[in-house]
Amino acid sequence: MQANSGGQQTDPVGLDLVAPEMYAPMLRRLALAAAGVGIGSALLTATVASWPIAVLVGVVVGAPTVGYAVALRRRRMWLSGTIIHARRVFGERQVEIAAATGVEVLIFPARLSRIVLRVTAGEISQVVPLAMYTDAGSGREMHLLGLRRLADALAASQLAAAVAVSAMLVQQLRAEARDAGLAERPLYRAVQMARTKDYVSPIVLTDREVAALG
């Protein structure tokens, strides 16, 4: 494991809630199917119209889905040291957690509720998914290494809010490590708390609420 001069680990670790490798085959099949439909539409149109029109119909039918699949495959998020990297369709966004000017925990309550971390550094903000839970009590949470490194990065910030979120993630990490029930996991408790408020999403947790979860 590499470390910089300040002792921060710099080996990148993925922050995607669902690893891109898991859905890449599905996206590849989707792109191929959409391309096939586009080609089929073009050939069918060519029987009643000119080839330029047929090609245009094929592009209109197949290109949007192919483009969506390619764009989704490209999206990726990872943490290197204290820097969040978010690769998008065009370019990459970087947010330095140690220089954060705002750290918030947001909850989107619904039948599939999401809880995310929003880090702001100057004019740049990045949302990091932490977990998602269904009404039935199942869901997906960030993996242990991602939680650990994210908590360490937040602890390096000068913001009290960042330190409080770091403490909450450490408790989540410990709960996941011992395979504790959902009721003992801070992220799930936060979602349950948000659901009782019956507010319009998203709900931003107060510093007091975050501290209570940690």
Taking 90 as the threshold, does the pLDDT of residue 185 lie above it? yes
Largest CA distance in the chain: 69
Q: How far apart are CA 129 and CA 202, in angstroms?
A: 13
Q: If DSSP states are collapsed to H, E and C, what string results for the chain? A: CCECCCCCECCCEECCCCCHHHHHHHHHHHHHHHHHHHHHHHHHHHCCCCHHHHHHHHHHHHHHHHHHHHHHHHCEEEEECCEEEEECCCCEEEEEHHHCCEEEEEEECCCEEEEEEEEEECCEEEEEEEEEEECCCCEEECCHHHHHHHHHHHHCCCCHHHHHHHHHHHHHHHHHHCCCCHHHCHHHHHHHHHHHHCCCCCEECCHHHHHHHC
- Which position has the higher pLDDT, 126 or 20? 126
Q: How far apart are CA 40 and CA 6, in angstroms?
A: 58
Q: pLDDT (tens digit, 9 = 90+) per residue, 136-181?
A: 778 889 999 999 999 999 999 989 999 999 999 999 999 988 888 9
Q: pLDDT (tens digit, 9 = 90+) per residue, 9-54?
A: 568 888 888 766 565 566 567 667 777 877 888 888 888 878 888 8
Q: pLDDT (tens digit, 9 = 90+) per residue, 154-163?
A: 999 989 999 9
The residue-averaged pLDDT of 182-195 equals: 90
Q: pLDDT (tens digit, 9 = 90+) per residue, 84-108?
A: 998 876 778 899 999 999 999 999 9
**pLDDT interval class at 70 (50, 70, 90):** low
pTM above 0.75, yes or no: no
The alpha carbon of 5 is separated from its chain's Cα centroid by a whole number of angstroms, namely 29
Lowest-confidence region among 47-51, 70-74, 199-203: 70-74
Taking 50 as the threshold, does the pLDDT of residue 3 lie above it? no
Average pLDDT, the chain: 83
- Which position has the higher pLDDT, 61 or 126? 126
- Give the whole-number percent of the chain exceeding pLDDT 70: 84
List 120's β-bridge partners, or say none: 102, 125
Entry field: residues in the chain? 214
